[in-house]
Amino acid sequence: MGKTSVSMLVAEELNTSIISTDSRQSYKYLNIGTSKPKAHQLCRVPHYNISVIDPKQADNVNHFLQRVDHWEKNELKDNQHIVYCGGSTLYVQSIFQPLDPLPPSNPEQINRLQNKADEMGLGHLFNELSQVDPEYARQMDGYNRQRIIRALEVYYQTGRPFSSFHSSQGSPAPGKDTIVFVLNRDRASLHQRIQQRTQMMMKQGLLKEVSSLLSLGYHSSAPGFNSVGYKEPLAYFNNELSKEQMIQLINRNTRRYAKRQITWFRRWENVSWLDVTDLEPAEVAKQICNRLAAYGHIP
């Protein structure tokens, strides 16, 4: 049972649409490794921020917010409620706590950081980021080259950590018009589901998907590939990992990412936690709708 199934049931109950806050589902062609909703699911409930940009394009939270603003003003203006679904913590947080204006990119600074990454390794830059902005480093999806370099570039331009560019300081807290539900499960169940998810991705053809994209001319450095579920297959195709090592690494990196998500959300105030360890999607959706009714958000 995942977020997609629950979000669809809730959206159907509210007669509304879903905006994905998954920073990787926005990329075209990256379907299996991102657990993107299937075609029949997209037909059931209107989805936004799914397959809207090319894997060669760099994306960030500001671009995401611009898309959301457009959809809300032009296509979702009649929706009384909107369901946001996804685990990219900064994207979720930006919905109710927008970023302060960021400085424009400095090509000279970016070039310096890129050369440093090439010479000393991305791990060195990540450690550097962890020193100047541990909060942002904690919620990052592994060694994301683009985000590490951008965060360091902003820091060296302004002297402020990238994470400090949220308008509100202190613990994130949704306003009265926004309710955040965090689906949680016990550690053993979570790890088992991660293994099952990896097995399913392999059966569905993750390696074929990655190989097809490479044959179409997408380079391994494409921004869309910079996430768990794609970096490991790319290393396999580059003969850096065996198939078994690749699978183990996907499991390990997914577990670490899930742990960072939970740590990130635990800082937030006014968040509704749901233990979904032994629950079916319909049961979870019912709990969410009951709480929404109790809060006065739905009749």
18-20 and 47-48: which strand pairing? Answer: parallel
- Is 107-165 in the same CATH topology as 3-99+169-294? no
Mean pLDDT of the chain: 90
Fold type of domain 107-165 = Histone, subunit A (1.10.20)
CATH class of the domain at 3-99+169-294: alpha beta
Query: In the prediction, which pLDDT does 27 show?
Result: 97
- Mean pLDDT throughout 19-27? 95
Asked if 274 and 184 touch (Cβ cutoff 8 Å), the reply is: yes
Measured on CA atoms in the order 139, 144, 146, 149, is the torsion positive or negative?
positive
Distance CA 184, CA 123 (A): 30
What pTM did the predictor assign? Answer: 0.83
Query: In the prediction, which pLDDT does 226 show?
Result: 86
Mean pLDDT is lowest, of 9-13, 240-244, 254-258, for 254-258
Q: Where are the domains of the chain?
A: 3-99+169-294, 107-165
